[in-house]
Amino acid sequence: PPVIQEESVKDLLCHLDIHKPMGLDGIHPRVLRELAEALAKPLSIIYQKSWSIREVPDDWRLANVMPIYKKGWKEDLGNYRPVSLTSVSGKVMEQFILRVLTWHVQNNQ
């Protein structure tokens, strides 16, 4: 399994878009970004443990699905698309998963 480095977690936290909404956990990206130094180590431990046991916290699997208007008549439900607002901490973990999957695909073609 890959090792999830504290420095890598800190880097991802420092580059969070603070204009994105928070998930159901109520933790705003700005909070994670501003506390990146303090949160990098505990989150790296959580991410590493999660990776090794192949499970993620239940809260990271929950989403608040919001209908976002696209175009056309607002009365037509087909003119909306669903957007899932998930935990920002979970999204950071997803970035590590994406990196590993991308590396694996590129090196096993």
For the stretch 37-85, pLDDT in tens is 999 999 999 999 999 999 999 999 999 999 999 999 999 999 999 999 9
pLDDT digits (tens, 9 = 90+) for 19-35: 999 988 999 999 999 99
Asked if the model's pLDDT at residue 1 lies above 80, the reply is no
Model confidence at 2, pLDDT cuts 50, 70, 90, reads confident
Q: Give SS3 for 12.
A: helix
User: Phi, psi at residue 16, to the nearest 5°?
Assistant: -65, 145
Torsion angles phi and psi, residue 13, rounded to 5: -65, -40
Q: Residue 92 above 90 pLDDT? A: yes
Tell me the C-alpha to C-alpha distance, in Å, between residue 1 and each of 28, 72, 99.
Answer: 29, 48, 13
Is 80 exceeded by the pLDDT of residue 91? yes
Residue 109: its pLDDT value, please? 84
